[in-house]
Amino acid sequence: MNQKLINECDAAKQILTKKLQEAQNLFDSQQQASLDQLNQITLKNQEAEKELAAKLSQQEQMLRDAQEALSAALERHKAQLTDKEQTISSLQTHTRQTQAEFNQMSSKYQALEQLDGQKQAQLEQLQLVQESLKQLVSAQGAQSNGAGLDLVQRTSQLISEHKHQLQAVQAEMKSESERLNAALVASESQRTALQRECAALREELQGVLAQGNARLFGKNSRACLLNSKNTKIRFNS
């Protein structure tokens, strides 16, 4: 009786031991499969991290290049704007000087016009004197005719020289006035053109700045997105 019970216990023990071993083997197999799957996930995440790190580095380099290009473009435009503004300032100074010369010449021309009126009056008086001398010579006859004619000739010569001098001065003043007026118009026209160029350059500078900011903002957004994806993968791993 006891031997039979012992045999049944040994048989039950063998069965339990076998099932325990099978369960242990199954557990070990499942654990190994889980470890293999985890290793594969880890390797994939590492590869993804490397790829994203490379992309992020490329994006950062592109961002630095864009910043440098934007800075260089801004410096060039600022230099051009400064140069044109200095040119405008010089032109304004030149325009003021030309205007002052023109005003001075206008004053001289007005004075000359007054002098011209006086000279015209003197000419008329000289012509009256000449006419009187002619009548006097004609009335006195041949005795004083030589001296009278000589006086008439000198008066005529004086009148002619006076007219030539007056005409020369008037022509010179007119030519100078026209030259200064043309210089004034040209200076004003050039200053206006440069002001338009400066306005266009300022608009272009604003455009470059806005475009650069947009490009930088876009690249920063992509970099942030890559960082976000990278963080997500690290979390999942």
Q: How far apart are CA 179 and CA 126, in angstroms?
A: 35
Per DSSP, the three-state class of 142 is: coil
Q: Residue 206 has what pLDDT?
A: 78
Query: Tokens at residue 223, please?
Result: 């970099």
Q: pLDDT tens digits for 202-234?
A: 787 777 777 766 666 555 544 444 444 443 333
Lowest mean pLDDT among 42-51, 147-156, 222-231: 222-231
Q: What are the φ/ψ torsions at residue 143 (nearest 5 degrees)? A: -60, -45
The CA-based angle 229-230-236, given to 5 degrees, is 90
Task: Please tell me whether the overall predicted TM-score, pTM, comes out greater than 0.75 for this model.
Answer: no
86-107 average pLDDT score: 78
Q: pLDDT tens digits for 171-193?
A: 877 887 787 778 778 777 877 87
Q: Residue 152 has what pLDDT?
A: 67
Percent pLDDT > 70 in the chain is 83
DSSP 24-79: HHHHHHHHHHHHHHHHHHHHHHHHHHHHHHHHHHHHHHHHHHHHHHHHHHHHHHHH
Q: How far apart are CA 40 and CA 146, in angstroms?
A: 139
Q: How far apart are CA 209 and CA 68, in angstroms?
A: 13
> Is the CB of residue 137 less than 8 Å from the CB of residue 148?
yes
Q: pLDDT tens digits for 159-176?
A: 787 778 778 777 877 887
pLDDT averaged over every residue in the chain: 76
